[in-house]
Structure 1
Amino acid sequence: MKILLSNDDGYLAPGIRVLFEALKQQIAFESLLMLAPDRNRSAASNSLTLLEPLRIQHHPDNLSDPNCRIYSVNGTPTDCVHLGINGALDFQPDIVLSGINDGANMGDDVLYSGTVAAATEGRFLGKPSIAISLCGNQHFDTAAHVLVTFLQNLPPINPDTIININVPDIPLSQLKGIKITRLGKRHCSEPVVKQQDPRGKPIYWIGPAGNAADAGEGTDFHAVEQGYASITPLKIDLSHYEMMDTLEKWAQNTP
């Protein structure tokens, strides 16, 4: 198995480093390549860099195995996976992994998440793809264990599916197990935060995400809250099929 590993927190982030080491030690692979942003690109979603050149930087000092390589890119998570699959390097992965993200990617988060976007790009380019996030920033080893276990017993994954995993930020000994879930929903995000720069001009910060609105049993929010890792299969088809009949009737009656 040839593994392409990326994230949105950057190649130096603790989550991707813990996962990189766990994969090296516990997964049988032909090659393992980390190709991640050179800095934090959280909430970059599926953006591609089109108006400036992309540069790949090799980081050989971290190598102890010639089959494991680390690179950074001055771009987005989607850029990284796009370059990794479409010929920027002498490498063609069998699977794309994204994470471990510092913070949850549940419910509406998946629309903004660079972590999920990296996996989405892998799926768009024909590769099985998995995104994994820790709902906190402490117990990355717990999340790494969940993903390694999933890979060691990998179920059949439909080619149009992205696997989105969220793991509670607790010691592995306290993890209750795994739940297969659907996406929950959040309330609207909090208001923007208005401040002033040193010259007295207004500046704005995007407010924090809203609390969970749909967090009942069966959702990713509920599973994590109860101490389970959440595995949610995602399908990127935004067509609103139920609305098509209504619009078809409207179109037929519109002069």
Structure 2
Amino acid sequence: MHILLSNDDGYLAEGLVALAGALRPYADISVVAPDRNRSAASNSLTLEMPLRAHVADNGFIKVDGTPTDCVHLAITGLLEPEPDMVFAGINHGANLGDDVLYSGTVAAATEGRFLGLPAVAISLACNEEPQHFETAAEVAVVLLKRLVDRPLPRDTLLNVNVPDVAPEDIQGYRATRLGQRHKSEPVIKQRDPRGRSIYWIGPPGAEQDAGPGTDFHAVSMGFVSITPLQLDLTWYDRINMVRNWLSGEVCA
């Protein structure tokens, strides 16, 4: 088996190194990752300039692009043979609820799935500095073995969040749905040394929909959260409503 690893924290990130070390005994590993931190890059592709890929001193391939660029490049021509699966992470921080819309880690896994490969995004749900990458690495091994022994459909995309605790303190695994946050905090307005206004994106909103069954709740209780994601964003229950709206009828 040939597994492609990528991330959004950059090719030198501790979580990526831990993931590669944990999975290497079980598969051929190729690492293609951004040359710097590209957190919150989402599913962006670089189209207006060429991409450059170089083998770094640690043996990983670094690319001057986004996480999506890295996976796209790796699968569509850079790597031979083509990978069989994509693991993205281990992200330095959680990707819970609405975070998946912005996450470069989830985007890397999404690109793998979009290109036809099973994919897993794995994140360490830490509040400050991450402490227990070894826990998330062990979880990755467990999931890999399960995927090999009991394959899921090839269109499977798993978003995994691991509590930042020692391995022995993990309470188990839970299949979850995405929770939801309150809207983001306001931007932080400052002035640069020349007196011009500058803005920092504010922190994400607090948990809103975070009850039992959500990824937020599972992680808060010490469980590994595993959420299956789909790429089809169509809201099928609303198609008839929009059809009626277009035809001039009253919408229910």
Q: Same fold by TM (over 0.5)?
A: yes
Which range moved further: 89-98 or 181-190? Answer: 89-98
Residue-by-residue CA offset, 1:133-180 (whole Å, 9 max, x unaligned): 001211111001011011112133223321010001111111111111
Alignment partner, residue 64 of structure 2:
74
1:6-21 pair list within 5 angstroms: 6-21=6-21
Displacement, 1:46?
0.2
Whole-Å Cα distance in 2 between the matches of residues 182 and 253 of structure 1? Answer: 35
Q: Secondary structure at the match of 2:39?
A: coil
Aligned residues of 1:164 and 1:231 also touching (Cα < 8 A): yes
Whole-Å Cα distance in 1 between the matches of residues 152 and 11 of structure 2? Answer: 27
TM-score, reference length from structure 1: 0.93
Displacement, 1:74?
0.2
Alignment partner, residue 158 of structure 2:
163
Which range moved further: 237-246 or 7-16? Answer: 237-246
Residue from 104, 113, 122 that aligns with 2:112: 122
Aligned residues of 1:84 and 1:91 also touching (Cα < 8 A): no
- 2:74 counterpart of 1:84: yes
Whole-Å Cα distance in 1 between the matches of residues 246 and 122 of structure 2? Answer: 43
Whole-Å Cα distance in 2 between the matches of residues 239 and 206 of structure 1? Answer: 29
1:98-177 pair list within 5 angstroms: 98-136=88-126, 137-154=130-147, 155-177=150-172
Q: Secondary structure at the match of 1:223?
A: helix
Alignment partner, residue 65 of structure 1:
none
Q: Secondary structure at the match of 1:115?
A: helix
Q: In structure 1, list runs of 5 or more residues that go unmatched.
A: 63-68
Aligned residues of 2:94 and 2:124 also touching (Cα < 8 A): yes
Task: State the one-letter code of the partner of 1:104.
Answer: A
Residue-by-residue CA offset, 1:5-46 (whole Å, 9 max, x unaligned): 000000000000011111123x2x2x2100000000000000
C-alpha change, 1:182 and 1:135, in structure 2 (3 Å) is same
Aligned residues of 2:181 and 2:208 also touching (Cα < 8 A): yes
Task: State the one-letter code of the partner of 2:141.
Answer: V
Alignment partner, residue 52 of structure 2:
55
Residue from 176, 189, 206 that aligns with 1:211: 206
Aligned residues of 1:94 and 1:127 also touching (Cα < 8 A): yes
Residue-by-residue CA offset, 1:63-89 (whole Å, 9 max, x unaligned): xxxxxx510000000000000000023
Q: RMSD between aligned alpha carbons? A: 1.2
Provide the identity percentage. 59
Whole-Å Cα distance in 1 between the matches of residues 19 and 118 of structure 2? Answer: 18
Displacement, 1:253?
3.3
Alignment partner, residue 97 of structure 1:
87
Displacement, 1:90?
3.0
Residue from 184, 187, 205 that aligns with 2:182: 187
- Deviation above 6 Å: which 4+ runs of structure 1? none
Displacement, 1:252?
2.9
Aligned residues of 1:97 and 1:130 also touching (Cα < 8 A): yes
Displacement, 1:240?
1.2
Aligned residues of 2:53 and 2:61 also touching (Cα < 8 A): yes
Q: Secondary structure at the match of 1:108?
A: helix
Aligned residues of 2:184 and 2:204 also touching (Cα < 8 A): yes
Q: Secondary structure at the match of 1:191?
A: coil
Q: In structure 2, list runs of 5 or more residues that go unmatched.
A: none
Residue-by-residue CA offset, 1:171-193 (whole Å, 9 max, x unaligned): 11111111110000000010001
Task: State the one-letter code of the partner of 1:231.
Answer: I
TM-score, reference length from structure 2: 0.94
Aligned residues of 1:96 and 1:128 also touching (Cα < 8 A): yes
Whole-Å Cα distance in 1 between the matches of residues 212 and 85 of structure 2? Answer: 31
Whole-Å Cα distance in 1 between the matches of residues 79 and 137 of structure 2? Answer: 26
Whole-Å Cα distance in 1 between the matches of residues 198 and 248 of structure 2? Answer: 49
